[in-house]
Amino acid sequence: MGVLGLGYVGLPVVVAFSEAGFSTLGFDVSADVVDAISRGESHIGDVSARSVADVLAAGTLSVTTDFGRLTEVDVIIICVPTPLSKTGDPDVSYIVRALDEIVSSLHPGQLVILESTTYPGTTRDLVQPRLESTGLVAGADFFLAFSPERVDPGNRQFQLKNTPKVVGGLTPACHGLAAAIYGKVIDTVVQVSSPEAAELTKILENTFRAVNIGLVNEMAVICDRLGIDIWEVIDAASTKPYGYMRFTPGPGLGGHCIPIDPHYLAWKMRTLQYRTRFIELAAEVNAEMPRYVVSRVAEALNGARKAVNGSRILLLGVSYKKDVGDTRESPALDIIAYLRAMGAEVSFHDPYVGKLSLDTDSLESTALTAEAVVRADAVVVTSDHSGVDYDLVLEHASIIIDPRNALSGRTGKARVYPIAGPARTSTHGVTDETPPAGVAISPV
């Protein structure tokens, strides 16, 4: 068993197969990553160092940068990144590089599975021809399938083993072999009729989330204009036992999946002269949420007769979601950029991120102390980590902007601005009749 790419997807996969007793080889282009794993360390929060150390000690896992060793494995799973290019088009260069390595060692009987999220048609139109350039025929000499990764960093309820695995093979034999392999480590395997169906399944899942998050983000802006508490509305709507699914607003979309994957489908459909209007509109709304949060910061400071220029802003959390250290596509990055462009002095505290690399420099996480909070002209809750001392923040901050609703049910001396609606101003949680006047930046 060989796994190409030992990141957020590949490391959990290779450890799971190793724990199941498979002799596994993990491949990565980064010598630092390989060396760290070889020492029994884990750079992925959902995989413990103990798990890595155990399979190394058992002899079921080896890791290497030597792709020539692909000749030693019967199954190859590709778990490499698939980002977007600067023009918003799919960047499949990592897949191509992986295929180049596989081509040089492909032999009869091997099963190749692509897990990297991509547009419908990638397996058949890109992967198959490159592998068949060896003279071997897919479905006869070797086997080919697509199985989308469904990793949700930080999810304690659903992990690799108990999250159903979708598999689409090029032929019935490809279906069967891929399903049998995954069935050794995953509780439920769902077979679909083709690689294209499996590819589109993953994109549908994340497009569904992106569109609904875009809807509730726009609803937050609407509630702000109407002076209504968006969280009260969401809680009330959630009491309906059918026909409604709870989504919550926030400072923007982050992570490597939801902000990225729908664009793969949009790009594919543009090649077929079709415009994916829902996807594009949701992306537009979600992309503007960091700017909207900054407008709330400006509004809050304006109410205290302060300007953003020269103000000290403390961000709580810079990862893209709660209780993880992943900053990929985090909306906090855009919020920092906007605030700095307006002349603010920005710092952050994040128990999961020690250092944040920016375009021109970097920031280190500051300790969350009463002094740090008092020094800040405004505090922004950009990630609602559960380990943060919010009571300390409420006690010592003067202004808090809380787009994550992390402070719901808590009281303190600070003036708290939710993502929409009036600020909470008293220690008893009483709200203003109207928010202070300010210039709002609409996300639509």
Strands (E), 23-158: 24-27, 61-64, 75-78, 111-114, 143-146
**Domain contains 203:** no
The reported pLDDT for the residue numbered 359 is 86
Helices 331-341, 277-303: inter-axial angle, 10-degree rounding: 50
Domain with 26, as residue range(s), is: 2-193
* Same domain as 212, residue 186: no
26 vs 5: CA distance, rounded Å? 7
**Domain contains 201:** no
Tokens of 317: 């959390």
* Same domain as 230, residue 150: no
The reported pLDDT for the residue numbered 442 is 42
Tokens of 183: 């069935």
* Same domain as 422, residue 282: yes
| CATH at 13 | 3.40.50.720
Q: Would residue 257 show up in a list of annotated catalytic residues for this protein?
A: yes
Q: How many CA atoms lie within 13 A of 52 on its CB side?
A: 24
Q: Give the residue among 384, 386, 37, 29 at the shortest CA–CA distance from 231.
A: 384
pLDDT along the chain (444 residues), means of 10: 96 96 97 97 92 97 96 97 84 96 95 96 97 97 97 87 97 96 97 97 95 96 93 96 96 87 92 94 95 96 96 97 92 96 97 92 95 97 95 96 93 91 62 44 40
Q: Give the residue among 236, 229, 223 at the shortest CA–CA distance from 430.
A: 229
* Same domain as 318, residue 174: no
**Domain contains 214:** yes
The reported pLDDT for the residue numbered 424 is 75
* Same domain as 121, residue 230: no
* Same domain as 432, residue 363: yes
**Domain contains 284:** yes
**Domain contains 270:** yes
**Domain contains 202:** no
* Same domain as 177, residue 220: no
**Domain contains 32:** yes
Residue in 79, 174, 223, 257 annotated catalytic: 257
Residue labelled with tokens 């601005």 = 417
- Whether pTM > 0.85 for this model: the answer is yes
CB-neighbour burial class of residue 138 (10 A; exposed 0-12, middle 13-18, buried 19+): buried
* Same domain as 303, residue 183: no
* Same domain as 189, residue 336: no
Domain count within the chain: 2
The reported pLDDT for the residue numbered 432 is 52
* Same domain as 6, residue 108: yes
Whether 260 and 83 have beta carbons less than 8 Å apart is answered as yes
Final residue in a domain of this structure, among 163, 193, 223: 193
Final residue in a domain of this structure, among 193, 224, 247: 193
**Domain contains 358:** yes
* Same domain as 271, residue 123: no
